[in-house]
Amino acid sequence: MASAFKLLFAVSLFTLLLRFCSGSIVGVCYGRNADDLPTPDKVVELIKLHNIKYVRIYDSNIQVLKAFANTGVELMVAVPNSDLLAFSQFQSNADSWLKNSILPYYPATKITYITVGLEVTESPDNASALVVPAMHNVLAALKKAGLHKRIKVSSTHSLGVLSRSFPPSAGAFNSSHASFLKPMLEFLAENQSPFMIDLYPYYAYRDSPKKVSLDYALFESSSEVIDPNTGLLYTNMFDAQIDALYFALMALNFKTIKVMVTETGWPSKGSPKEKGATPDNAQTYNTNLIRHVLNDTGTPAKPGEELDVYIFSLFNENRKPGLESERNWGLFYPDKTSIYNLDFTGKGVLDMTNSTDGSKNGTTWCIASSKASEADLQNAIDWACGPGNVDCSAIQPSQPCFEPDNLVSHASFAFNSYYQQNGASDVACSFGGKGVKVDKDPSYDNCIYLTAGGINKTASNNMTATVNTSSSSHTAVCSWICVFLLTTLIAVILNLGNMCDVSF
């Protein structure tokens, strides 16, 4: 009896260790509503290059599942709305789908979530009534295969599932969805599955720019919004929307359900009325989002709470209907070049150390194309010398690279500095097609163009230190407790082994 108790204690301790030290994650949505995307195997190469470990897809496409085999990338697959009727009516349909579309590729392809239905409350065909029965049938199929503990089942929702989201403490679910929501929340609580939400502060800003400031939507606000009911202070809309959902869950007494953000992001281009849709704003939002999430700061109502987030989307999707912004949420163009550079580590400096592109010995440089327009060059200089963290002091008046005083020369210096300090890769020299790689040193007089071996990394290191300061204490505590728990676990198991030896 004592040995059984100690074994149970050891298992519980190990589970606690894994949970405490896991931390929040950032993934990417891989939508394929386009006719110009690279093949799945090429997409996987891009994902591995950028060290992306978590990916969401919107179906269970066989070619995609095969491409992710043996990569270690954790995949979220989906049952689309078009299959909900079949899945909800007959258990055999869910069984057949699992047998034919999932099991042949698992576990080589690491599938961790199945989403049943996509934002069904926004669907015009009243599909919400089909979701929970379909979820139960998918779960039953997983149980038959012995995978219900390894693959979680849930469904994704838009923020429209709430009737109120401000102030956050007044967050409440829309009563018109009550017949669907209650059994779904009971399913999630019983099976320890997350509530999946698609959040877009961009839309709140676009539709109400006089009420929602751009800085507040981009995690850049220096002022605070106070929840009058709780006194909690909010510096960004993302946290406010997350907490509104948590308060809505608590109002229905579902206090154990975790929230997962299955879509969020910012478009890099829009129609004339969508002035906030720019590459700078998209980079700012996603960069700040990643830092915020990976620092495990949580939200005002849930400080320190882990939060898993998926950025939408990997590529621009040219077949999506609607305004121009709908086709421009991607991080990459179809040719796999970056629309803007993004660091998935949360350190603020693009990590291209695993890149197979470009020179690693500092023998290539990046300069501006003479065919680029002045407006494009000026925008590129502003970005490189701003969010790109390039030291542009050398191209200021009276400095060595100011002359010749023209945009091509100034942009060339800025492009090359960014290129060298970010791995000298093709991606780091793209600048939307305005950058050109050359093998001849463009340095002149006292204007010296950097090479990979001569970069002053002080600025980037300082910024990285600043970014990580808020999480350093959490990391240190996590490391200490993990070591303590692991040591204790080993001692318990060894002691248990000794007891077993004595018994026999």
| 371 Rama sector, left if φ>0, alpha if ψ -120 to 50, beta otherwise | alpha
- The β-bridge relationship of strands 74-79 and 54-56 is parallel
List the catalytic residue out of 119, 186, 317, 374. 119
The secondary structure element, H or E, covering residue 128 is: helix 128-144
Beta strands, E only, 369-440: 435-438
* Residue 474 φ/ψ, nearest 5 degrees: -60, -45
Q: How far apart are CA 104 and CA 447, in angstroms?
A: 59
**What number of other Cβ atoms are within 10 A of residue 412's Cβ?**
27
91 in Cβ contact with 137 (< 8 Å): yes
268 in Cβ contact with 311 (< 8 Å): no
- The β-bridge relationship of strands 110-118 and 365-368 is unpaired
**What number of other Cβ atoms are within 10 A of residue 90's Cβ?**
12
Verify whether residue 122 is a known catalytic residue: no
Q: How far apart are CA 157 and CA 360, in angstroms?
A: 45
ω before 321 within 30° of 0 (cis)?
A: no
Verify whether residue 119 is a known catalytic residue: yes
Report how far apart, in Å, the C-alpha atoms of 456 and of each of 150, 368, 387, 446, 462 are: 46, 22, 17, 17, 11
Q: How many CA atoms lie within 13 A of 232 on its CB side?
A: 19
List the catalytic residue out of 224, 263, 324, 326. 263
Active site residues: 119, 263
